[in-house]
Amino acid sequence: MITLDHVKKTYRSQNQTVEAVQEYSEEIQPGEFVIITGRSGAGKSTLLSLIGGLIRPDTGRVLVEGHDLWALSDEERSRLRCRTMGFVFQFASLIPTLTVLENVLLPTAFLPEGEGGDLNRALELLSRVGLAEQADRLPWQLSGGQQKRVAVARALLLRPAVLLADEPTADLDEQTEAEITALFGEVNRAGTTVVIATHNTDLSVRATRHLVLSGGLVTHAS
Amino acid sequence: MTLPRRGPRLLQFTLYNLLRKPGRSLAAVIAVVLAAGTAFAGALISVGVHHSVAVGMERLGADLMVVPQGTMTSTHTALVLGEPVAFYMDGSTVQKVAGVPGVRSASPQTYVETLSTAACCTGRMFLVGFDAKTDFTVQPWLRAVLGRDLRDDEILIGAHILQQVGSTMRFFGTEFKVAGVLDPTGMGMDETAFLPASSVAAMAENSTRLAEKPLTIPSGSVSAVMVRLANPAQAEGMARQIEAAVPGVSAMTAGQVTQGVNRDLSDLMAWLLPLAGGILLVAMLLFIMLFSAVTAERSREIGLLRAMGATQRQTVTALVGEAMLLGILGAALGVGAGAVVYMLFEKPLQIDYALPFLWPSIVQQVGLGLAVVAGSALIAGLAAALPAMRIARLEPHYAIHVRR
């Protein structure tokens, strides 16, 4: 279970203060499919980063599987992130110097030897996203859509309990978008909690919950 | 398709980064090659010179060397570079020196400068005639290696004289057979030929008949007296005592020879050290700038790694490891390049700065090379550590979304 307990995040620059997420509490149950929508700058990415422990809230707590993320050491928080969360980002998020297969296997580099996903799992995921034949290619040899599919495969390698995706279908053609959306649905049916920040309201048909953000405030939840 | 058996480990990850970004890696490697090459060449010169002096002075076997007053500089040059000299003093000096309390033994030497262009001589060379009865410089080597004394028509040569055992050399019309080649010292002895003083006297006598220009050595004279002391630790004091007891001589200690060499070495190091320091500084700055730029450029990538579960420590380890690998690679190439450049300029450097040089043993050379490699890896790691720590401490969200 993910708990946001009165979290708040404000960005401050020299002459500007932006309340990216106003004080907010929420509980996301295991196996939920949550989508977060809102206009650009509404605070979707920040909320997702708060859930994933990628950014520290100014106030409040974030609990994942009972652990207060910011009460943990960097080592413990990183391990928890590695073992329980998978991330898909909007941009091409592959490491340019690693092959497709190495990119998918990368999360295992941060776990003790012998822990985590293996080669068969990586190949199975690449096959699932239709890229098994591209395994030894470098990212620049793939299209944007293909790179996004590789990133999804990587996020799923360690069978995360939570999948967090930031605009995963942006800039994709219709067919790829449908494939990735279907894959998220499949992963969710298998028990993974899915939280997606998106402009794409079509995803709401799959969602168990739909949060709408505006100016850092959740204005609507259904 | 070649498949890995499992995911890349951190070290592999850094290796791939280096190998698959060759342009970036090359710039860093070149900086390290220059710095490490200069450092290695400088260290090699320093170690080689000191090694040479140590070996040379041990071979000389004397605590003091007594020469005519005013000839110390040329004696130093002869000892260090083998530059021929010829000066003489009265033979009674030997007894006078031997009679100074504290002197354990004294042995005379006679110096001859051979002719360079005359048909009577193999070439311009420094000949040293030693007293077979009292000598302690050449005789120990003779006994150990040859197992006998030199015959009247035999000669011993230094390691740099291009003759083989059994070949003949002609000086002032007299032929000598090469009986042995001394082990190298890097000092003047390598350019020097040794023969019994009695042979020198005979050669001088025969030269009036056989040579175009006769060899003139004042009767009963000697060039230098090699001295062994009862207490070598008192060499400086004994030198002053001998100079006081025997008028017209200068006494040079082994320490003075070493000091002289150190002075010449300092002249070389006076420009080599600032050069090496400057290159090192520029290389370090380049490294810091390069890694600051690289980490800034890769902030999103580093943020991604952190999001995937890399700890701050793992992130710093990967980035610093990358820098250290570049440092090791660059330094290894630099050590090789430094050695090659030194080999190319070995002779001119020795002559210009009057420096003896003996290549250190392989173990010492490897040790020196490893020290330079380790030092370069450490400096490269330190240079990369600051930007690496700064980026690793950044919250992943900022690294991914904000800092470009």
pLDDT digits (tens, 9 = 90+) for A153-178: 999 999 999 999 998 888 788 888 88
Residues 6+ apart with CB under 8 A from A201: A37
- Is the Cβ of A183 closer than 8 Å to some Cβ of chain B? no
Which neighbouring-strand residues pair with A195?
A34, A164
The residue in chain A having the minimum alpha-carbon distance to the alpha carbon of residue B312 is: A74
- All residue ranges of chain B with pLDDT < 50 are 1-5, 404
Compute the distance between CA of residue B28 and CA of residue B33 in angstroms, rounded to an integer: 9
For chain A, the average pLDDT equals 89
Percent of chain A with pLDDT over 90: 54
> In b/e form, how buried is each residue of B8-34, taking b as 16+ CB within 10 angstroms?
bebeebbbbbbeeeeebbeebbebbbb
The residue in chain A having the minimum alpha-carbon distance to the alpha carbon of residue B301 is: A95
pLDDT digits (tens, 9 = 90+) for B350-383: 667 667 777 888 898 999 999 999 998 998 888 8
pLDDT the model gives residue A116:
60
pLDDT the model gives residue B119:
59
Contact list, B12 vs chain A (CB under 8 Å): 109
pLDDT the model gives residue A138:
93
Residues 6+ apart with CB under 8 A from B292: B386, B387
pLDDT the model gives residue A152:
92
Structure tokens at B307: 């999001």
3-state secondary structure of A205: helix
CB-CB contact of B188 with B82 (8 Å) = yes
Our CA-based measurement puts residue B389 at a distance from the nearest CA of chain A, in whole angstroms, of 13
pLDDT the model gives residue B3:
40
pLDDT the model gives residue A178:
86
Q: Per the CB < 8 Å rule, is B21 touching A107?
A: no
Determine which of A12, A106, A111 to mutate to test the interface with B (most B C-beta atoms within 10 Å).
A106
pLDDT digits (tens, 9 = 90+) for B34-86: 888 888 888 888 888 888 777 777 777 788 889 999 998 888 877 777 778 88
Helices (H) then strands (E): counts for chain B = 12, 11
Q: How confident is the model at residue A15 (pLDDT cuts 50, 70, 90)?
A: confident
Backbone φ and ψ of B329, nearest 5°: -60, -50
Residue B166, sorted as left (phi over 0), alpha (psi -120 to 50) or beta, turns out to be left
Q: How confident is the model at residue A114 (pLDDT cuts 50, 70, 90)?
A: low
pLDDT of residue A30 exceeding 60: yes
Compute the distance between CA of residue B393 and CA of residue B404 in angstroms, rounded to an integer: 16
Our CA-based measurement puts residue B401 at a distance from the nearest CA of chain A, in whole angstroms, of 9
- Is the Cβ of A16 closer than 8 Å to some Cβ of chain B? no
Our CA-based measurement puts residue A129 at a distance from the nearest CA of chain B, in whole angstroms, of 18
pLDDT the model gives residue B275:
80
Contact list, A126 vs chain B (CB under 8 Å): none
- Is the Cβ of A182 closer than 8 Å to some Cβ of chain B? no
Compute the distance between CA of residue B362 and CA of residue B97 in angstroms, rounded to an integer: 41
- Is the Cβ of A138 closer than 8 Å to some Cβ of chain B? yes
Strands B192-196 and B154-157: antiparallel
Q: At what angle do helices B22-60 and B312-352 cross, to 10 degrees?
A: 50
3-state secondary structure of B102: coil
Q: Per the CB < 8 Å rule, is B398 touching A55?
A: yes
Q: How confident is the model at residue A140 (pLDDT cuts 50, 70, 90)?
A: very high
pLDDT the model gives residue B292:
80
Work out whether the CA dihedral A72, A73, A78, A80 comes out positive or negative.
negative
Compute the distance between CA of residue B369 and CA of residue B334 in angstroms, rounded to an integer: 9
